Amino acid sequence: MPETMVGEFARRTGMNIAYELIKLLLVWGWPFILAALAIVAGYFQNVPWFYVVIGTAVTFAAAATGALRFSEMLARITAANKLYFGGFVPAMDPIKDKKTGLIKSLDKIQLCLVLQNNAHFPISFVVEEYTTSFEGMINSKSKRDADGAIIPPGTPMWFRDCTIDLKNMPLDKANFEGHAKFKLRYGHAGREHHRIERDCTLMIVIDPKSGAAQIHAADVVKQPR
């Protein structure tokens, strides 16, 4: 793995850990701080310890409940981990044999990202990089029609790469090989800070009778340098 990738991974991991620690201290530290203040206030005001204990317990319970609700609110409003990558699907232009009705060749194909918005609000995503190939063939178009979109709450979306011209490639086998690599950012519109990155080898299985196709993806294993 290149040093730049290791450094980038370490930076992101360190930032995530620091953020979680700060959030943990701010959210869950308050019940203990308020309980301690209740004890100190009761001590200096000469309140009987019976009432101090009860007041401290009530203060801690109320603060802990408030911290829990606040933490739940933060989890609901953030876009982090709300966009799910569901794999790849093919969109093809098959050519059928007029006599047999079977698919004899493939004219064009697109490899599409499946993205699912699991949030209760719209999620915007921006594709920084998306390259695909099918049996070693790549698209001839340098730029896609769109590099992102906004996904409505709780709905899936397909993001299509440029069309790969297969030039009537014969469908002489069931399994074909491909490759897909993408990097995208997502989040609230204008604040797409969260990332998804994948680099996959693909096995595309095509049924010559129905034209149904499935893609099985596996992450590329990168050897450390």
Report residue 63 as tokens.
Answer: 């603060």
pLDDT tens for residues 93-140?
888 888 888 888 888 888 999 999 999 999 999 999 898 999 888 876
Identify the pLDDT of residue 161.
85
> Domain limits at 147?
83-219
Report residue 169 as tokens.
Answer: 């490639």
85: pLDDT strictly greater than 70 = yes
Identify the pLDDT of residue 182.
92
Give me the residue label for tokens 């949030």: 119
Same domain, 65 and 96: no
42: pLDDT strictly greater than 60 = yes
The top-scoring range by mean pLDDT among 54-58, 77-81, 135-139, 177-181 is 177-181
Identify the pLDDT of residue 5.
46
Identify the pLDDT of residue 218.
87
If we measure between CA atoms, which residue out of 26, 74, 16, 75 comes closest to residue 194?
A: 16
What CA–CA distances, in Å, run from 211 to 6, 64, 69, 201? Answer: 42, 57, 50, 22
Q: Could you tell me where the beta strands, DSSP code E, fall in the chain?
A: 83-96, 103-117, 123-134, 137-138, 148-151, 156-160, 164-170, 175-188, 191-206, 213-219
Residue 196 pLDDT level (bands cut at 50, 70, 90): very high
Instruction: State the total domains in the chain.
Output: 2
Same domain, 159 and 53: no
**Does 225 fall in a domain?**
no
Residue 14 pLDDT level (bands cut at 50, 70, 90): low
Same domain, 144 and 37: no
Same domain, 9 and 111: no
Helix 3-44 / helix 49-77 crossing angle, nearest 10 deg:
150
**Which DSSP state fits 78?**
-
Same domain, 207 and 116: yes
3: three-class secondary structure by DSSP? helix
Tell me which of 77, 98, 113 is where a domain ends.
77
Give CB contacts under 8 A, 24+ apart, made by 101-106.
102/208, 102/209, 103/171, 103/206, 103/208, 103/209, 103/211, 104/170, 104/171, 104/208, 105/166, 105/168, 105/169, 105/170, 105/171, 106/166, 106/168, 106/169, 106/171, 106/206
Give me the residue label for tokens 């990332």: 195
Identify the pLDDT of residue 1.
42
Taking residues 154-180, report their average pLDDT. Answer: 88
Residue 183 pLDDT level (bands cut at 50, 70, 90): very high
Residue 9 pLDDT level (bands cut at 50, 70, 90): very low
Residue 46 pLDDT level (bands cut at 50, 70, 90): confident
Which range among 9-13, 82-86, 91-95 shows the weakest confidence by mean pLDDT? 9-13
50 compared with 14, residue with greater pLDDT? 50
